[in-house]
Structure 1
Amino acid sequence: MAGRIREDDISLVREKARIDEVIGQYVTLRNAGGGSQKGLCPFHDEKSPSFNVNPARGFFHCFGCSEGGDVITFLMKIDGLTFGEAVERLADKYGVQLRREEGDIREDRPKGPPRRRLIEAHQVAQTFYAEQLATADALVARQFLGERGFDQGAAEHFGVGFAPRSGDALKNLLRQKGFTNEEMTVGGLVGPSGYDRFRGRLLWPIRDASGDTIGFGARRIFDDDRIDAKYLNTSETPIYKKSQVLYGIDLARREIGRQSRAVIVEGYTDVMACHLAGVTTAVATCGTAFGEDHSRVLRRFLNDHEEFRGEVIFTFDGDAAGQKAALRAFGGDQNFVSQTYVAVEPDGLDPCDLRIQKGDAAVRELVARRVPLYRFVLANVVGKYDLDRADGRIDALREGARLVSSIRDKSKVDAFARELGGMIGLDPEEARAEVRRAAHRRPSQDQRAGATATTQTEPPPRSAVPDLRDPRFATERETLQLVIQHPMTIGRSTGDIGVNDFTHPTYRAVWELVAAAGGPGAGAGDAGWASRLRDAATDPAVSSVISALAVEPLKKEPDAAYVGQHVFRLLELTAARRIAEIKSKLQRTNPVEHAEEFNKMFGELAALEAHRRALRDRLAGGAS
């Protein structure tokens, strides 16, 4: 059994795997100056971007939740992989041949097939199904596509395929390729009965943002299909979570980030129709309603925050089901900073049917005619009542007010209340008053939170560790930035620096790791220098600050003067602290009773003052 991956191979993976390229498959990143990039953190909800990536250093850090690390750490956190699995995935992608130590067997791998094997099995399945679409047995499938305006090129672009009607065609192929029964069943390609899960159906491969096939959506096309459901999707597997999957995200993610717009449709053929018509930001959920997890995925690619406020456009049918879906979407409206809209075709056509009947331009026009989601929802509520009657207006106001009062983002309530009053034909203040009454009739979130809080214990006292951003420690922080980001540049200049030059305990711990690794000179030319330091840290706070120091932009490109300014200033601060200590002690010492000790301290004080003046002169010389 193979042992641990060799350290030099891990270092090569870190060197070859561009962290901005890997993270860019999950998060839309924008240049932030100083060689850094910024985006919305994928590990916590935020309205303003605090997630930083420094490609030159190979590090990421979120200043909101303190998650950070290198490209391997990112994959482990985002996809729930072990260290070894993350290294293997990156090695496969970037062409690194991994070698393992003999006799050093690790037992940290989770039970079940590795993710890499499940992905490989799905790739084999996708290729197989796509080839089967050209067979005689797939004539009905090709006719289905042709009737909806999808030619061979469209099928190839989206990877559409056909599953043979026999129950073991894919299973036999996977077995020939060396896949085990466990890998086939855990991945959802073969059912518990031992037969292919998808038989005699038209198939769409469902891919993650990086383009890996992780599941399939299958449509019924034969009348004698034993399964009545029109659509059959991959069940939950280690690589397929339907609440987090968006069909088409692999094709749409770059345009979503570039345009700051996402169009959410209801089915696979709608996504195809939109993309072919030029609406290349369209995605769809896979057999489930659009939910909070889907919102999180989209926000990362939208770069959805105050500075880059974009658009999220839902397309719904105009029927009762469509109105119900709109109400559901309205309930999650506050998940987005971007403005939410609805695009509804007056004739009730979905994007696929609209393209068939009226052409590509009609699909683009559908999206262009979007209306704000809140206005669409309130209009549907108000439209149920006879506004020519006084009681109808009162009932419409009450139901509309309940809806408006339920909005989590209270900054939007006033605008929605005014809109509601205008629709019903009432004074805006009357609508606002009814919304306030509706809010009082339902328990507030604050009250519910307070009730929960009373059942919990008091929060633990705050740590006595000083704030890392306290100006007192600015020189320590900036010097360590140089040590981590530019070890070759700062190199020999740190020869006089010691652990006592760092007064903040966390910064002191970072320097101790640097010293234990051989000093800054040991990091010269080492692409994994910051990762090596972070891996050696046992305190999460120290690990976090190393990732932060690795991505924070410096005030300028470091040269000898810039380096000297920080090194000499750090040493001068240490001298100043020691001078203050000696002066205090001299004041408490009797020069007659303790003459020898007094004279020794006085001599040390004079030497320190001279040393401090010399450091100041060097600082002044560097500044000039």
Structure 2
Amino acid sequence: MAGRIKDEDVATVKEKVHLDELVGDHVALRRAGSGSLKGLCPFHDEKSPSFQVRPAVGLWHCFGCDEGGDAIAFVMKIDHLGFSDAVERLAARVGVQLRYDETPGGRGGAPRQPVGQRQRLVDANAASAQWYAEQLMTPDAGEARTLLAERGFDRAAAEHFGVGYSPRGGEELLRHLRGRGFTEEELMVSGLAGRNSQGRVYDRFRGRLMWPIRDVTGDVVGFGARRLYDDDRIEAKYLNTSETPLYKKSQVLYGVDLAKRDIARERRLVVVEGYTDVMAAHLAGVTTAVATCGTAFGDDHARTARRLIGDVTATGEIIFTFDGDSAGQKAAMRAFASDQQFVARTFVAVEPSGKDPCDLRQAEGDAAVRALVDRRVPLFEFAIRSTFAQFDLDTEEGRLAGLDAAAPIVASIKDRELRYRYAVNLDRWLGFLDEAFVVARVARASRSDGAQQLASRSSQTRVDADDPVATTERFALACALQVPDHVGAQVDTLGDDAFTVPAHRVVHESIMAVGGATGRTGAELVAAVREAAPSAVEQLVTRLAVMDLPAGEKDLPRFAVGMVAKVAEVEANRTVMDAKRRLGRLDREQEPDAWTDAFSKLMDAERHQRAVRERATGTP
């Protein structure tokens, strides 16, 4: 990442953005209770509106797909942007000039480029892409046009993908861009130019077929360049833009600008290995294809993929296409290891003949490319079968070794039913004919500290919506966050164990950790609690902050006081019961002092219980 936007500027942007207007650009909103707006979620298909916006606290949440956050989170998701780019887009919307932390070691470990420089670099890249495309039609670009034609791409295909040509001279682009007002420093920073040992500036790309690489917004952030001539001083077949403030190879996906809408609609992303493969796939009808740019598919790519798909792993698909040779299998295994967050819906499409999508389209036509994708197999199955290849499965020893190697892969599957089905498949694939033995072997591999921690964390955030106590606690916390001016003092006097649902207890602890609810507005309290709360309950805080309260503005104070009082009443009842149990364990004759102390505490607890009950019922 680049440098860090100053925190106070981020806060100013969030303060100035009208969330209802921002969301309203994408969603038709209607009033839904006190201070809330509701509409159909833009991130998943639904017939009844479950997407809620609460402008007063600057938050939105969908109760259908459980997505939520602030204005920045909305722009990140709707436009498939990273944090900094989303802030910059909002800043431009509301007229805030951003400042950047130029202290080395800030976010990303490097200072941010000066304000305005990013746009200059984007403009330089855009001008270069247009110029390269124009050069493709010149007499000197014959080799480039021949290579495209040999791979089945005509002029229309080249224009659709913006393919171009960089002349061999070494200074042609420099002269063109200088004439457009760009400085040598800007061209060096953008990666379009280099400087030799004598200090002479030259075109970085010379005599190559050029592909503009765009981000999800359509801005050209870099280039991929394919070698054409045997006397090219740079022997690498493909040369990409070096790391720049715009271009991070671990984050960009070639073709994403063309594919993103179909990816979001189909909830499918196809990862191929090169620029011509993306072109072939799109022209064959696989319009969700993208490619990494000179690097393996990694964690940053995975995060981008999840955003593009909508992070709906139950229905979304990520399909990797690899050659059928050993290198392709290794690439698939790297993809399997790179990100376990969506691996249950990840597939591999391998062409046994070894042809990539571009070669396959040339040899067998568009239908063959589509069929390759349709023949996908789950990545789990591919990983397991690839593991088997290391062992001699014709022997008992080899089958047992294969089982022990594959069991951890099966054990890593998060879905319990899917994990069981793969365990059963293991038995069938290995030929043990002893299903119970294989399932037990997988279960043993599942028993790890990490799995136990995951289960523990899950139990901490699970809430039973039908439990009346949980419902009361949920409304009480929602009131605390939305209208602390009515119940702040009450909330702050609740004990550490007032909330019985673990996730609710964590939210209350977070409220107390920021100094309590007394004397704060709802917006102030929600912002502070979202910052302080553990990530496991951050979305719960958002849901509570935007959820509907079953009371109009006139009745809201009484409702809020009543909900918090009921939580206090349950806590007071527990305190009385604990005091009674302690008193019952004591012998008045044998332990008079302890009995007197316990009796006094019981009397105090019962007085507190009566007072709390009166508040809960509204009786004088």
TM above 0.5: yes
Would you say the 8 A contact 1:402–1:439 is kept in 2? no
Would you say the 8 A contact 1:129–1:163 is kept in 2? yes
Q: Distance in 1 between matches of 2:543 and 2:12?
A: 24
Would you say the 8 A contact 1:382–1:423 is kept in 2? no
Deviations 1:509-559 (A, max 9, x none): 777454xxxxx9xxxxxxxxx6xx589969944998998379624257xxx
Q: Distance in 1 between matches of 2:123 and 2:173?
A: 14
Would you say the 8 A contact 1:35–1:56 is kept in 2? no
C-alpha change, 1:281 and 1:400, in structure 2 (3 Å) is: farther
C-alpha change, 1:285 and 1:473, in structure 2 (3 Å) is: closer
Counterparts of 1:535-546 in structure 2 under 5 Å?
Answer: 540-541=531-532
C-alpha change, 1:382 and 1:541, in structure 2 (3 Å) is: closer
Q: Distance in 2 between matches of 1:128 and 1:567?
A: 65
Report how far residue 434 of structure 1 moved. 9.6
Partner of 2:369: 363
Q: Distance in 2 between matches of 1:283 and 1:355?
A: 16
C-alpha change, 1:571 and 1:345, in structure 2 (3 Å) is: closer
Q: Distance in 1 between matches of 2:615 and 2:299?
A: 59
Q: Are 2:207 and 1:213 equivalent residues in the alignment?
A: no
Q: Are 2:230 and 1:226 equivalent residues in the alignment?
A: no
Q: Distance in 2 between matches of 1:433 and 1:195?
A: 63
Q: Select which of 337, 341, 363 maps to 1:335.
A: 341
Q: Distance in 2 between matches of 1:296 and 1:10?
A: 24
Number of corresponding residues: 502
* SS of corresponding position for 1:191: strand
Q: Distance in 2 between matches of 1:166 and 1:542?
A: 59
C-alpha change, 1:399 and 1:182, in structure 2 (3 Å) is: farther
Q: Are 2:93 and 1:119 equivalent residues in the alignment?
A: no
Would you say the 8 A contact 2:162–2:212 is kept in 1? yes
Q: Distance in 1 between matches of 2:430 and 2:25?
A: 51
Partner of 2:355: 349
Q: Distance in 2 between matches of 1:8 and 1:436?
A: 52
Q: Are 2:149 and 1:143 equivalent residues in the alignment?
A: no
- Give the counterpart letter for 2:552 in structure 1: Y
Q: Distance in 1 between matches of 2:543 and 2:354?
A: 55
Q: Distance in 1 between matches of 2:301 and 2:323?
A: 20
Report how far residue 174 of structure 1 moved. 3.4
Partner of 2:39: 35
Report how far residue 402 of structure 1 moved. 0.8
Q: Select which of 553, 567, 570 maps to 2:557.
A: 567
Deviations 1:357-404 (A, max 9, x none): 2211111112122223333344445456665xx53x632541353133
Counterparts of 1:575-614 in structure 2 under 5 Å?
Answer: none
Report how far residue 265 of structure 1 moved. 1.1
Would you say the 8 A contact 1:510–1:542 is kept in 2? no
Report how far residue 249 of structure 1 moved. 1.9
Tell me: higher relative CO, structure 1 or 2? Use CA pairs within 8 A at least 6 residues apart. Answer: 1
* SS of corresponding position for 2:340: helix
Partner of 1:596: none
Partner of 1:71: 72
- Give the counterpart letter for 1:423 in structure 2: W
Q: Select which of 147, 163, 168 maps to 1:165.
A: 168
Partner of 1:245: 252
Report how far residue 269 of structure 1 moved. 0.9
Would you say the 8 A contact 1:60–1:68 is kept in 2? yes
Deviations 1:88-139 (A, max 9, x none): 54465x5x76789xxxx99779453443333233222222222222222222
Partner of 1:527: none
Partner of 1:552: 546
Q: Select which of 393, 398, 419 maps to 2:401.
A: 398
Deviations 1:458-494 (A, max 9, x none): xxxxxxxxxxx994683573486489xxxxxxxxxx9
Report how far residue 432 of structure 1 moved. 1.6
Would you say the 8 A contact 1:404–1:416 is kept in 2? no
* SS of corresponding position for 2:270: strand
* SS of corresponding position for 1:334: coil
Report how far residue 238 of structure 1 moved. 2.8
Report how far residue 163 of structure 1 moved. 1.8
- Give the counterpart letter for 1:222 in structure 2: Y
Counterparts of 1:118-517 in structure 2 under 5 Å?
Answer: 118-193=121-196, 194-305=201-312, 308-332=314-338, 334-336=340-342, 338-382=344-388, 390-391=394-395, 394-399=397-402, 401-407=404-410, 409-410=412-413, 411=416, 414-429=420-435, 432=438, 435=441, 439=445, 446=449, 471=472, 474=475, 477-478=478-479, 481=482, 503=492, 512-514=519-521
Q: Structure 1: which 5+ runs fail to align?
A: 24-32, 41-50, 451-468, 484-493, 515-519, 521-529, 578-607, 617-624
Q: Structure 2: which 5+ runs fail to align?
A: 1-7, 28-36, 45-49, 104-110, 454-469, 494-510, 568-610
* SS of corresponding position for 2:226: strand
* SS of corresponding position for 1:215: strand
Cα RMSD (Å) of the superposition?
Answer: 5.2
Would you say the 8 A contact 2:380–2:410 is kept in 1? no
Would you say the 8 A contact 2:489–2:518 is kept in 1? no
* SS of corresponding position for 1:283: strand
Report how far residue 270 of structure 1 moved. 0.9
- Give the counterpart letter for 1:205 in structure 2: P
Report how far residue 277 of structure 1 moved. 1.1
- Report sequence identity in percent: 43
Q: Are 2:22 and 1:18 equivalent residues in the alignment?
A: yes
TM norm structure 1: 0.65
Report how far residue 68 of structure 1 moved. 4.3
C-alpha change, 1:14 and 1:348, in structure 2 (3 Å) is: same
- Give the counterpart letter for 2:188 in structure 1: T
Select between 170-179 and 474-483 the one with higher mean Cα deviation: 474-483
Select between 276-285 and 373-382 the one with higher mean Cα deviation: 373-382
Deviations 1:559-596 (A, max 9, x none): xx72222134346789999xxxxxxxxxxxxxxxxxxx
Report how far residue 446 of structure 1 moved. 2.7
- Give the counterpart letter for 2:242 in structure 1: S
- Give the counterpart letter for 1:394 in structure 2: E
- Give the counterpart letter for 2:316 in structure 1: G
Deviations 1:235-278 (A, max 9, x none): 22333222222222222222222222221111111111111111
- Give the counterpart letter for 1:343 in structure 2: A
Report how far residue 161 of structure 1 moved. 1.8
C-alpha change, 1:112 and 1:295, in structure 2 (3 Å) is: closer
- Give the counterpart letter for 1:148 in structure 2: R
- Give the counterpart letter for 2:305 in structure 1: L
Q: Distance in 2 between matches of 1:437 and 1:472?
A: 37
Q: Distance in 1 between matches of 2:318 and 2:100?
A: 46
Report how far residue 352 of structure 1 moved. 0.8
Q: Distance in 2 between matches of 1:437 and 1:510?
A: 46
